[in-house]
Amino acid sequence: MLSFFRTYQVIVIVGLLALIAMLAISLKTKQNGDLFLFEKIVYEITSPLQKAVEFSSRGVKSLCLNYIFLLNLKEENADLKRAVATLKMENSRLTEALAANARLKKLLDFKESIQAQMLPAEVIGYDPSSWFKTVLINKGVEDGISKNMAVVTSDGIVGRVVEVSRATSKLLLMTDHRSSIDAIVQRTRAKGILVGKVDQRCRLKYVFRSDDVTIGDDIITSGLGGTFPKGLPLGKVSRIKKNGYGMFQEVQVAPIVAFSKLEEVLVITSNNHASDG
């Protein structure tokens, strides 16, 4: 212990003197607020240490406050993100509801313009194959659906019912290669049979070479056969080819209905406009 004091005696003495001076300054300040020269010197020496301690204390306090602020900010940011996600979902639902309402209104207006009994149905499934073109709807025998009933949208012909179960039905689209519909060119009344093709288009068969048909002509149902009402849109002529021989010309038709976007349809349960002749 003695050797330690001898080694650091200067530092110990200075420390003790500084402590005594600080105590004296404190007592003196409490009594009359005046400082002697020695006291002022000691104060000047020790004040940087006091300021450093005070600055460090303020820094730690500020750091803690900033950390708490950042934690609160992070939580508020997470809450805002959740609120934005909720609003986006709600906006999507409202947008979808408005779109569905517009489609259903269009179907209703079309239904009122046609003198036929119609039953609305929703598309609930698609045939994934590229060869067959069929869809499944959520109406069946218990709803009054039967085979060969025509199916339409407000845009035009979709196809006909080919299979029926208790609560669902399968529709054969007009683009299927097994489909055939009596049709006419609206502008010139030229007759033909509209058949489906593999490439989502149709062909108007048995149109005579002498018949007046041009690209852009509207193709509509003729009403023959009793399945489809007369005058409903089928598509537009997209290509014409006349070979150097034969009785008929080749007429390609682009369907008017967007089959890849089918969501709601109307099944014609009683056709008052179809004609057998």
Burial zone of 197 (CB within 10 Å; 0-12 exposed, 13-18 middle, 19+ buried): middle
CA 247 to chain centre: 51
Encoded tokens for 87:
């609003």
Q: What is 118-271's CATH number?
A: 2.40.10.340
Pull the structure tokens for residue 214.
């041009």
β 157-164/150-152 pair status: antiparallel
CA distance 114 to 232: 10
In the chain, residues under CATH classification 2.40.10.340 are 118-271
CA angle 142, 145, 146 (to 5 degrees): 120
pLDDT tens for the chain, residues 1 to 277 = 555 555 656 565 655 655 565 555 555 554 554 445 455 555 555 555 555 555 556 656 666 777 677 777 777 777 777 777 676 666 666 665 666 666 666 666 666 666 678 899 999 998 866 667 899 999 999 999 999 999 999 889 999 999 999 999 999 999 999 999 999 999 999 999 999 987 778 999 999 999 999 999 999 999 888 889 888 999 999 999 988 788 999 999 999 999 888 888 999 988 655 443 3
Rounded to an integer, what distance in angstroms lies between the CA atom of residue 207 and that of residue 177? 18
